Amino acid sequence: MRRTHSSPSPRRVPALRRAAAGGVGLAAAVALGLAPASPAAAGEAGLDELVTTDAVRGHLENLQTIADYNGGNRATSTPGYDVAASYVIDQLEQAGYKPKKNEYEYSLWQQHSDAEFARTAPDSYTYTEDTEYAPMTYSAGGDVTAPGVPVAPDAANSGCEAGQFDGFPEGAVAVIRRGECSFAQKTQNAADAGAAATVVFNSGSDPDDPETTELFYGTLGSESEIPALSTSLEVGEELVATDGLELRVVVDASVVTETSYNIIADAKGGAKDNTVVAGAHLDSVPEGAGINDNGSGSAALLETALRFPELEDKPKNNVRFAWWGTEEQGLIGSTEYVAGLSEKKLDHIGLYLNFDMIGSPNYGLLVYDGRGELPDSLPAPSGSGAIQKTFEDYFADQGHHTEPTVLGRRSDHAPFLDAGVPVGGLFSGGDAVKTEEQAGHWGGTAGETFDPNYHTEADDITNIDWDAVDILSGGLAHSVQTFSESTLPVNGKIRSFSATQSQERHRVGDMWVQ
């Protein structure tokens, strides 16, 4: 069993924070000039034993404090993000790393005031934002009152074909079903046909799956020509069935060019031509501190990096730790990082491990589906199944039941997957609903989402399940140590300290974008 309550080295900020309970807090320690202590010898302890839940909790408490004093969040291009990034960098530097900021430009969609969505005829009804509808990110601003006209509402490819808009009334609001093509394509087709706005309702493709029936949050990827909203299946079907429908759509938003950055830190040692990348996004949504999403993954990754140099056996493969920026705006930080790699540097990445939410209050123990067993999973590069098995075997040895989770494009593994890099990761669950069977395995409440606080102000330090953090941070640390020693089952490579010759790798080829 992993140590849940063992104290980390006193050189860590989390350890100093916990000392406050005994009468010596962080500020007092600094004022007294207490010098960091040397790390204790690790002996034969595995990295999963060195990374303790107390230490991860200390990092999360610090991220909460940073958010509390900086507008309540750690969203991209805000003081909260910058201070959180400075914290990560400072911790890494104290541990001997030389972290770098990987900067990029991006288009930031800014919503200046609440959107509005209402039915103005044949009767009046005002819908509720974030309950019945939501503006899509990168929606153009506008104030439109016009007839609502369905576009092939029963078709799985509703709004995907230009011909479906034949005879569409100029200036009307297009009501479109989700499915088959991107929201950007549907919205552009509507704009080309003369629509003044679009409303995309959920598909209902699986009536038992809330992701296809409830309100969803969509992104257009880049600024649209007309305003665009998303709604639930229920609202959409009501709109389609209403004769004489007239709608009002108001979006107050704009797009500006911003800069942000990822944090990249390489551990010492290991062959540079076979790099294991482990990542977690550091930004939160603007609505809250994001302590589960994704302070939890960021904190566990940070403690893993801090403890990694204490391992007795030095790495045979290069290990790179990454904290991504601007994930909540559409995986921008990780996407820009991968796009900026030369072909040679990309070929040197042996695999990517992603950790996005590991402390959900109604948690599950979910492993990315690298074998493609789930119908909605994307085809994964060869070796992804081996990463999945590595996680599964570890948790089975610990006596824990795991299940695969869909390998899609909702987190920072996506650009690596698209580039042909084997990918894997862990997840404690988000907006999906826990089943009775899953509650039997992991406890919690069936019929509720894994994280009822997902993307809300309530995602704070009081709503973390520490058993989930304990179990999944152990898997995180174990995977980093395992692949630092060998990636043989993933990409067929074995490295010794002297092995530097590279080999070419064969490639296989939530906010929602479709």
- Which residue numbers are catalytic? 327
Cα–Cα distance for residue pair 413/174, rounded to 1 Å: 34
Single-letter amino acid code for the residue at 57: R
Q: Which of 312, 421, 289, 407 has its CA nearest to residue 359?
A: 289
The DSSP bridge partners found for residue 367 are 404, 426
Q: Which of 415, 130, 455 has its CA nearest to residue 284?
A: 455
- DSSP 8-state class, residue 469: H
Alpha helices in 370-435 (DSSP H): 384-397, 414-418
191 contacts 225 by C-beta, under 8 angstroms:
yes
- Other beta carbons within 10 angstroms of residue 372's beta carbon come to 15
Q: What is the end-to-end Cα distance of the chain in Å, rounded?
A: 42
- Other beta carbons within 10 angstroms of residue 501's beta carbon come to 8
239 contacts 203 by C-beta, under 8 angstroms:
no
**Tokens 């990694």 sit on residue:** 308
DSSP states of 101-119: EEEEEEEEEEE-S--EEEE
